Amino acid sequence: MFEVRLVQGSLLKKVVEAIRELVTDANIDCSSTGLSLQAMDSSHVALIALLLRSDGFEHFRCDRNVSIGMNLANVSKILRTAGNDDIITLKADDDGDLLTFMFESPNQDRISDIEMKLMDIKSEHLGIPDAEYEAVIKMPSQEFLRICKDLSNIGDTVVISVTKEGVKFSTRGDIGNANIVCRQNTTLDKPDDSTIIQMKEPVSLTFALRYMNSFTKATSLSSSVTISMSSDLPIVVEYKIADMGYLRFYLAPKIED
C-alpha cells in the first residue's frame, strides 16, 4: 500500500510544471525516505533529481519500495484540476496499475478523485557523486530567471564565469554581445534578496540557454536558487522545496569541439 497526503498540494503542481517540458515519462520512486525522481531529457543533456522527504507529508505510508511510472503530461492535466490551496492525497495498491489522486478543498466542501493509468517505465539510475564545487552562487530565483530570459533575446548560449569580481553571464548573437555581472550582495534584513558567491577557484563554463530557461520554470518553488559549478562537472541549478527537499537540474556544459 502506498498513500501520501500533502497539505500544500500546490508544491506538487509546481514540481510537475517545472519538469514536464524536459521529461515526458518518469518513475517516481517511493520508499520510507520519501518520494524521489531522477530522469534525463531525451537527448541526455540535462538530468533532473527531485526529493520530497517523507517528513514533509502530513501522512506518509509506503509499505515497500515501489516505482510509479507516469506520463508527466497526463499528471499535469490531472493536477490542473486541483485548486492551488487543495490538499492532495496520492494512493496506489501494491500490485495495481492505477494511481489515485484525491483533491480536498481547504474547508472540505469539495473532494474529487481521479484515477490515472500507470506506465511500465524502464528506469535508469545514474550515480551522482558528491562533489566539492569550485564555485557556488546563491541568488534570488527571480533574478536568475530574468538573466536567462534577457540573454535569450541576444544569443543561444551563456558563458557563466565566476571570479573574485563576481559572477558574469555572457552571450553572443547575430545582433551583438551581452554581459550581466552580479556581485555579492548580502541584504541582512532580506536574506532572500541576497546574492552570495563562494569561490574556491575561478571557473568558466558554457551552457545552452534553452535548458537554463527550462530550469527557471521551477522559480515559483523557491525565492532563491543555488548554482554550483566545477570545471569538470555538469552545473547544478537547485531550487529548495520548503522543508521537504529539492528540485535539482544538472546540465552538461558545451565543450570545445
Q: Which residues bind other proteins (CB under 8 A)?
A: 40, 43-47, 124-129, 157, 206, 208, 233-234, 250, 252-257
Of the pair 120, 124, the CB lying nearest other proteins is at: 124
| Closer of 87 and 235 to other proteins (Cβ) | 235
**Which is it for the CA torsion 47, 53, 57, 61, positive or negative?**
positive
In the complex, the smallest distance separating the C-beta of residue 250 from other proteins, rounded to whole angstroms, is: 6
Triad 215, 221, 225: Cα angle to 5°: 60
The cell numbers describing 61, all together, are 505510508
Q: Tell the smallest beta-carbon distance from residue 181 to other proteins (Å).
A: 22
Phi, psi of 160 (to 5 degrees): -105, 120
Torsion sign across C-alpha atoms 63, 103, 5, 27: positive
Contact 168, 180 (CB under 8 A): yes
Question: By C-beta, is 56 or 253 nearer to other proteins?
Answer: 253
Nearer to other proteins, 112 or 206 (CB): 206
Query: How remote is the C-alpha of 255 from its chain's centroid?
Result: 24
Smallest separation (angstroms) from other proteins to the CB of 172:
11
Minimal distance, residue 254 CB to other proteins, in Å:
4
* Nearest to other proteins of 175, 255 (CB atom): 255
CB of residue 23 to other proteins, shortest distance in Å: 13
- Cα separation, 43 vs 41, whole angstroms: 6
